Amino acid sequence: MLINKNILKKSILTFFFLCLFISSALAEPPPNIPYIDGDLDGDNEYNVLGGEDYDPDDNPGKVLNGNYCKLYYRFIPFDGLYLCCDWYVPGGSQEFQRFEFTDKGLSPRKFWRIDIIGGSTVNVFWTENPSGIWNDVHELGWDEATGNHDSINSPEPHPIWEMRIPASEFSGQELMAGICPKYSGGSGIETDPYLISTPQDMNAIGADSSDWNKCFKLVADINMAAYSGTKYNVIGNLSNSFNGIFDGNSHVIRNLRLNVSVSNVGLFGYINRNAVVKNIKLHNIDFTATNYIGGIVAMNEGRIYNCHVTGTIHGQQTCGGIAGSSNGTGSPPDLKGEISNCSFSGTIIGTSRLGGIAGGSTGTIIINSFAVIDIAGNTQIGGVIGSDMGSHFDSCFAKGKLFCRQSDAGGFAGGLTGGCGYVTDIHNCHANVIVDCNIGAGGFSGSKPFSGGRITNSYACGKIIFDPANHSDIGGFTGRSAQPYEVINCFFLDGSGPDNGSGDPLTDIQMKQWTSFTNWDFTTPVWKICTGTNYPKLAWQQKLTGDFVCPDGIGFEDFTVLANQWLLAPDVPSADIAPPSGDGIVDFHDLKIFADNWLNID
């Protein structure tokens, strides 16, 4: 679509100001500490050591089920050294991360000591080191380096907890005190998930394996830069996998940079078949480890959807932008591991089994996902999947470049294997990737489908770079020649690579005509094409940026579609692009994505 941008500049100025306003309006500030008002349970009274009791009506607060409390006291110096108060707590146990206090209206600070009085002291916690210097690293009951937290347990039905604060820490008389729960709130069940609002919260999950079957929800964008190197606690491992639900809630986790000399590294280490990880935006990662490295997870057997990763991964074997490996469990065709509506944009450097979405997969499902890649390694390298045995791929694509030093590299898949009942099925996918490899290199796949596997309704349009004097098994579609029943209705750009009989070559003009693609679905549609302008795109791909109608690119004709559907909820609103899977209505969220891609022609 040809547009004179100078002529349009004035006419769209108002439009951009509107979108800027929308972008600002949609940005959510970090949540405040969720203090909860209410009366204290138990004996329903407050006792301040040193001489005063306060009526609970004047001192609202609640300490129950791990919630915050909000208590107001006029602390009275006790023996000239401490400000003290005590309170009753129902039951015999209270688990917490830290205690905080403040002069009323100021920022929270840390308690110095708490113990149980009115009986034997069960546990005593200190946050001041023996030399008397204030210690910011280890708060009361909370070790920031490890994420460990403590609990107070007592056989008494209503133990009394005492707070002791150095009197020298305060200038005021009226203080606010609060018990911080595990994480930033919640109880860890699906209807009341643990709330994650800080980097400390995120790191604490990996430190407590007893919580790896719980539910979590991210409620703020967080910056993990403070947990670089070896400081981050990966969630789940081979002996104890993550078995819960983590909902990123479309918030962003930024700057997680790991440098370790171990395997199984990612935001998560290992998630099992009952786990769900969803709605995460993981930006600017930098992971360096050995084997099994993934942006979201090192090893996946569960369900990952609507997760998007940008950054760099350095490793050896089995590295992927979303998952190092993704595997089904049980016997075929029991395909349980799943990745859907996900994306990766970045660089992967390793040795073997390297892929933009997953490094390796066995009996898994990968659908509606894409990767924009720059990958370098030795063997089994693909834009979407490095090495696969018997998985199902549908409606995925890759673009970018890759380099292999040895063999088996393809714009979409590197190596395809099979056996034991596993059959690879790739359907409605495409690749626009420069593939630099001398052995087993294809525009779409380095190897051919194995033992009953097949590739259908797919195409490649990247370029194969190889040494004319020293190469073997090079093809425009698959590197290793396939049989007609293994590659069905598949095409590659004529001249991008040798024609070895796998897939049919099409000229640039033919690639822009829907009539060239036999038995492809342009009606439902699965595919969309602006005839004479560009190559086919997946329907969800074209819609993803706001390119709703032809001609190709995002312009006023697309804005008309969005405007006509504004605040409407038709059965299938074509302008419903936020989130990518849609939410049933066209609103400001969809307009923001449209504005971000305005006048983009790709």
pLDDT digit string, tens, across residues 436-464: 999 999 999 998 887 778 999 999 999 99
User: Cβ–Cβ contacts within 10 Å for residue 572, how many?
Assistant: 7
Residues 550 and 520 in one domain: no
Residues 590 and 545 in one domain: yes
H-helix or E-strand containing 405? Answer: strand 397-410
Q: Which long-range contacts does 105-112 make (Cβ < 8 Å, 24+ apart)?
A: 108/33, 108/178, 109/169, 110/136, 110/139, 110/140, 111/139, 111/140, 111/163, 111/164, 111/165, 111/177, 112/140, 112/164, 112/165, 112/166, 112/169
Which one has a higher pLDDT value, 151 or 329? 329
69 domain-assigned: yes
Give the per-residue pLDDT at 252: 97
Lowest-pLDDT range of 418-427, 535-544, 559-568, 579-588: 579-588
Residues 158 and 258 in one domain: no
271 domain-assigned: yes
Q: What is the 3-state secondary structure (H, E, C) of 347-395?
A: EEECCEEEECCEEEEECCEEECCEEEEEEEEEEEEECCEEEEECCEEEC
> In 3D, which of 22, 16, 28 has the Cα closest to residue 592?
22
Per residue in 162-177, pLDDT tens?
A: 444 444 444 443 344 4
Confidence of residue 570 (pLDDT cuts 50, 70, 90): low
| Separation CA 594–CA 543 (nearest Å) | 10
| Separation CA 3–CA 24 (nearest Å) | 28
User: Is there a contact between 96 and 125 (Cβ–Cβ < 8 Å)?
Assistant: no
38 domain-assigned: no
pTM of the model: 0.73
Please give the full DSSP string across 147-215, using - where no structure is assigned.
--BEEEE-SSSSPEEEEEEEGGG-S-SEEEEEEE-STTS--SBTTBPEEE-SHHHHHHHHH-GGGTTSE
Q: What is the 3-state secondary structure (H, E, C) of 487-527?
A: EECCEEECCCCCCCCCCEEECHHHHCCHHHCCCCCCCCCCE
Confidence of residue 387 (pLDDT cuts 50, 70, 90): very high
The three-state secondary structure class of 226 is: helix
Per residue in 195-206, pLDDT tens?
A: 999 898 899 899
Tell me the CATH number at 559. Answer: 1.10.1330
Give the per-residue pLDDT at 58: 35
| Domain residue limits at 538 | 525-596
Residues 451 and 545 in one domain: no
Residue in this structure with the two tokens 């919580």, named with its chain if needed: 211
Pairing of strands 109-110, 98-103: antiparallel
Instruction: Quote the number of domains for the chain.
Output: 4
Residues 309 and 440 in one domain: no
Per residue in 64-106, pLDDT tens?
A: 223 333 333 333 333 333 333 333 333 333 333 334 443 333 3
